[in-house]
Amino acid sequence: MNGNVKAAGGDEWFDVVNERDEVVGRATRREVHATGLWHRAVHILVFDAGGRVFLQKRSMLKDLSPGLWDSSCSGHLDAGEGYDAAAVRELGEEIGVHLPAGTVPTRWFRIDACEPTGWEFVWIYHLRYDGPITIDPAEIQYGEWVAPAEVSARVNTRAVEFCPSFKLLWPMAAQRLALK
């Protein structure tokens, strides 16, 4: 049961998880967000050959964090869907990146559910990609390639322009980039 599973009224179904990220039930997107139930999401950071990361400015149509800067692409796991499958699906849906069959971006690090993530357990993925980006205007208002040092500077000086989850994950990603 995955791939934008819809409830009556068009709402999506998510797996609800416990403190160990184990599925304990299912609920609609609306219920999960309204009541703070723990659920799952992915963020994919896409880097080009020059080391720049693609950032998206979320569409004003989004129900959460409209108009704020965020990861290259991100999204919830549908009910019954795994993290890797969601990462591949989100790449295609949001930025038009279609990986060869059986290819998955690299799992980079994980963040436990907390308030800045919106009570999501999140896997952050890393992908090196130099092809075209085709944004979905329902998801993304604008996107740009940015050097990691510039991303850090923007997050530090213009924090209100970034999604809470991105402000949490970016310093962790920047630290890992510095160690490479």
For the segment 46-60, what is each residue's pLDDT rounded down to a tens digit? Answer: 999 999 999 999 999
- pLDDT tens for 136-155 read 998 899 999 999 999 999 99
Query: Is a pLDDT exceeding 70 seen at residue 180?
Result: no
High-pLDDT (> 70) share of the chain, %: 94
- pLDDT at 6 exceeding the cut of 60: no
Per-residue pLDDT reduced to its tens digit, 59-68: 998 888 889 9
pLDDT at 3: 46
All domains of the chain, ordered by start, with CATH?
Answer: 8-179 (3.90.79.10)
Model confidence at 19: pLDDT above 60? yes
Phi, psi for 81 (deg, rounded to 5): -95, 145
**What average pLDDT does this structure show over 13-20?**
96
pLDDT at residue number 65: 85
pLDDT at 132 over 80: yes
pTM: 0.91
**Residue 122 clears pLDDT 70, i.e. is over it:** yes
